[in-house]
Structures are given as structure tokens and as C-alpha cells.
Chains A and B, each alone.
Chain A
Amino acid sequence: MRTMDATQRGPALILRMLPFGRYTQGPGSVVERSMRVHSRTWVIMVSGFAEPVVYLLAFQIGFGALVGKVVGPGGQLVDYVAFVAPALLAASAMNGAVFETTYPVFFKLRYAKVYDAMLATPLGPVDIALGEISWAVIRGGVYSVAFVLVMAVMGLLSSPFAVLLVPAALVVSFAFASVGMALSTFLRSPSQFDYIRLVVMPLFLFSATFYPVSVYPESVRWLVHVSPLYHGVELMRGLAAGVLDVSMIGHVAVLAALAAVGVAATSRRIGALLLG
């Protein structure tokens, strides 16, 4: 048998994390745990219908009346509420995903030691990362279906491509859930959650969510393009209006890359923290 020294151990640790086939279970049983925990809070999840109604109503009767028409995708003039609704869907996919993968994950990682218990079984760090992220995406998916239905009822969808809003919301959820979970593994005290807000709130407010990117001076627009939420917003705005173009591939690619980086980083961090 070989003897391991420090330099050989590094790669071995990565090997332990990467090949998915070596994990007997896959993330399914991790998702199942979350479903059981939340089996009694389905009411809250279903009540997710109420929230888009509240938001969209506020924008229809309130903000919309202040603004009137704005320039939407492809240069056409649209009602303000139709302009903002897809962006709100993207933003709430982000908020939901980040919420679901920060406080609960921190609690399970640092206090309840749920992941330590999982790692004593055949499950590995990749299972945990994918399982927890998938749960956030599932919740986000339920919510976004509700949101899109409300949009449809309010007459805010002008294209059959709008059915793609749901998968687009899943991509946004996945991207932010995996990055959110990766960041959570770095937090050491609950007060540090404010740092996550410090990132999320500006993304929410400044990703061309509430007004067109043209409002910004030319010189700072690149900053908006750096925001991952901006890519989600643009993608959804195009789909809701039925204005498709090549840039959408770029938006999806950015979000998919974030998702991949997040899953890899989360797996490595959980391995480093708990398999020491």
C-alpha cells in the first residue's frame, strides 16, 4: 500500500469529490430530507401566489401610473408593469434562491451539524451541494410557476415564448442558489449575513430591474452588465415580450457558468470544512 504525503493528498481529496458515479445515492435523499422538513410548511410555499399578486398590483396601480410607457425589448413602447414584471420574476428567483441557501444552510452546517451526519453515510460533498441547491431550485420553480400564471392572468405576456420564463427562472435560481450556498460556507457568525445582503440588495436595485439600462450614464453601464441578475432580467424581459436574439445565449451562458462554479466551490468547501 502506498504512503500518502501532503502533496499526494491534495489530488486525492479532489478525486473524492469529483466523480459523481462514486456516490451511491446521488443528491436525491438530501432533497427528500428538505421535503420532509418542509412538509408542514407547504402552506407557505403555496401562498407564494399571493406575493406576485401583491407586487404586480403595486406596480400596476402605483408605479405604473406614475410612469406610463417605457422602452421595452426591441425598442417597442410597453406599459411599465409589463416592463417590470419579468424583471421582478428574475429578482424573486434570485432572492428566493439566496434566502434558501444562506440562513438554513449556515444553520445546518455550523450549528445542527446536519452535513456531518450526512458525511458519515455513503453521501459525499457533491451530493450535499447538489441536493441542497436542487431543493432551492425546486422551491424557486414552484414560485415562478405561480408568478408566471399571475402575469398571464394580468395580461402581461405578449408571446408564446413566455412559457420559457419558467425554465429561465430555474436557471436563475440554480445560479444564485449555488453561489449563495458557496458563500454561506465562508460565514462564521450570523451577523455576517449582512454581507450577503450587501451584495444582493444592489443587484436587486441596479440590474435594470426598475428602469431601462439607458438611464445610467454610458460610463457606468458596464457595471450593470457585470451583474448576473442583469443577465437574468434581460433574458426574461426578452422572453416575455417575444423578442428573441442571440444575446440570450450569452445571458444563459453567464448564469450556467455561475451555477457550475458555485456547485464546485460548495463541494470543495464542504469537503475542506468537514473532511479535515
Chain B
Amino acid sequence: MSNWRAMWLRVEGHWAWYRRYWRSSLYSSGIEPLLFLAAMGLGFGSQVEAGAATGGFEYLHYVAPALLVAGATMSGMGEASFPVLSGFKWQKDYIAVTATPITPGQLLGGQLLWLGIRLGLSGAIYGLVALMFGAWLRPAALLVVGVGVLTGLACAAPVMALAAATYDEGRRFVVMFRFVMVPMMLFSATFFPISQIPLGLRWLTWISPLWHGNEIARAAALGGAHPLAVAGHFAFLVVLLVAGVALARKLFYRRLVV
């Protein structure tokens, strides 16, 4: 069976599940970033004067693209943690699937493809509602949905690798959410520019994939970025994605082919 066909069959399997549970899962991936947009973009934003820190933009315009990317990153990492571990350990559907002609690599590919589709879907919903809020200034903002998908997948792939190497109840994910995801969300120039972060700590932002995603997203939504810088951010995310997938693939095989 071709890889794409096998991956697509997995997506169909996920879709069968999603059709039963779309209400609750659409909420967490699609509506939550909108709540953030309302609370931070509008509510908190009402306290912020447009100025140098926001590149001269109103806070809503400044924060809207980054919130989409941050939301995609959070739900990507979330979907790659306990749900993937469950496939190996609790629900064991990965074990059932790899008893069919589908290989562990195709299983992983299907999982990523499905995640990408969902991130794209919830990004699109966010984009539409944010449009009604008046959060977008130019048509190129449409690209932000794609940036969200890329950043979300780039962060999800290494977490899937971690899940494949997890045999206990997955407490490490709770630690990861607390000490990697939340700080990443706060210090990746999502809510305030990197210039406010002390120089000594700024390297932490530079290695944060979310920061690279946020930079591309703002370049698309607000304009005025140097193409080379954008290419650099893009390259960072692609490399992370490729490396994450390669590692996850190896660990999926190690866990499922015994």
C-alpha cells in the first residue's frame, strides 16, 4: 500500500472518531484561542497604548496572529501527548492498527496528517471570527493559518516521539506543559515583543519554535519584515519538523515492532 493511501486511511479512522466527539474537541482547539483573543486582544488590549512596543499597531492587531500560532502550538503539543500515549498504552489502537498492512511509519504519518487537518480547520475558524473582531489588516493574513499548522506540527512531532518512549502514566507530560509549554507561550513574543526580554535570557526565545512561528505570522499579518529573516524562521521550523518526525518514526518502530 502506498504511504499516502495508508496515511489517508488512518485519517478516515480518526474522522470516524471525530464525528462523534467534534463538539468537545473543536472547543479546545478552535474556540479557546478566540477566548484568548477576546480577553487579551480586546480586554487587556484596552489597557495598552499603541506604541513602539507593539510596532505602532493596536494591541489587537499585534496579538491576533500570534494567538493563532500559540493556540495551534498548544493544541498540537496536547494532541501529541496523552492521546498518542493512549494509542500505545490505554486504548491500544496503535497496536490494533499495526496488526493490519499499515506500518508504524504510516501510522505516525496519518496521525500528523490528521493533526495538520485539525489545526488548519481550527485556525480557519479562528481566522474568520477574528476577522469579525477586525483583527486583520491585510489579505496576506490568510497565510497565518498555514504558519499555525507548520508551527503546531513542528512542536507536536518531538512530543509524539516522547510519547512513544513513555511507558509510565505520562506524568512527564504534565511537567512538560508546565515547564516548557507555558513558558514558551509567555516568552515567545506572543503577548509582548522580544525586546522586553533581558538580553541574558533572550537565547531562550531564539530557540523557541513558537517565536519563529510568531515572527512569520506577524510578517504575514502586519507586513514590514525582511524576506531573509522570514526564510530563516521558516527553515528553523522545517528542520525541527523533519528532525522530530525522523525521531518519532524511529521510536514508533521501536515500540510497535517487537
Chain A residues engaging chain B, CB cutoff 8 angstroms: 41, 44, 47, 50-51, 54-55, 58, 61-63, 65-67, 70, 80, 189, 191-195, 197-198, 201-202, 205-206, 210-211, 215-216
Q: In the complex, which of the residues A55, A66, A192, A206 has the most CB atoms of chain B within 10 Å of its own CB atom? A: A66
User: Is B175 engaged at the interface, CB distance under 8 Å to the other chain?
Assistant: yes
Instruction: Give the complex CA separation of A194 and B18 in angstroms.
Output: 14
Q: Nearest chain-A residue to B194 (Cβ)?
A: A62
Give the distance to chain A from B126, nearest Cβ to Cβ, in Å. 15
Query: 8 smallest A-B Cβ distances: which pairs?
Result: A194-B24, A205-B39, A62-B192, A58-B186, A191-B21, A66-B48, A67-B47, A210-B44
List CB contacts (< 8 Å) of B194-223 with chain A: 196-198
Instruction: Give the complex CA separation of A205 and B33 in angstroms.
Output: 11
Number of A-B residue pairs, CB cutoff 8 Å, is 85
Given the known A-B contacts A54-B186, A194-B24, A205-B35, are A61 and B43 also in contact in the complex, defined by CB atoms under 8 Å?
no
Given the known A-B contacts A44-B174, A201-B35, are A58 and B44 also in contact in the complex, defined by CB atoms under 8 Å?
no
* Residue contact B39 to A206, C-beta cutoff 8 Å: yes
User: Is B14 engaged at the interface, CB distance under 8 Å to the other chain?
Assistant: no
* Residue contact B40 to A210, C-beta cutoff 8 Å: yes
* Residue contact B191 to A195, C-beta cutoff 8 Å: no
B contacts with A, residue count (CB < 8 A): 33
Could you tell me the dominant secondary structure of chain A's interface residues?
helix
* Residue contact B25 to A191, C-beta cutoff 8 Å: yes
Given the known A-B contacts A58-B186, A62-B186, are A210 and B43 also in contact in the complex, defined by CB atoms under 8 Å?
yes
Instruction: Give the complex CA separation of A50 and B180 in angstroms.
Output: 12
User: Is B53 engaged at the interface, CB distance under 8 Å to the other chain?
Assistant: yes
User: Is B55 engaged at the interface, CB distance under 8 Å to the other chain?
Assistant: no
Q: Please, could you name 6 A-B residue pairs with CB atoms under 8 Å apart, sorted by A? A: A51-B182, A63-B44, A66-B192, A191-B21, A194-B28, A205-B38
User: Is B167 engaged at the interface, CB distance under 8 Å to the other chain?
Assistant: no
User: Is B232 engaged at the interface, CB distance under 8 Å to the other chain?
Assistant: no
Residue of B27, B46, B182, B186 touching A211 (CB-CB under 8 A): B46
Which chain B residues lie closer than 8 Å to A193 at the CB level?
24
Give the distance to chain B from A93, nearest Cβ to Cβ, in Å. 15
* Residue contact A206 to B187, C-beta cutoff 8 Å: no
* Residue contact A206 to B43, C-beta cutoff 8 Å: yes
Which chain B residues lie closer than 8 Å to A66 at the CB level?
47-48, 53-54, 59, 192
Instruction: Give the complex CA separation of A193 and B174 in angstroms.
Output: 16
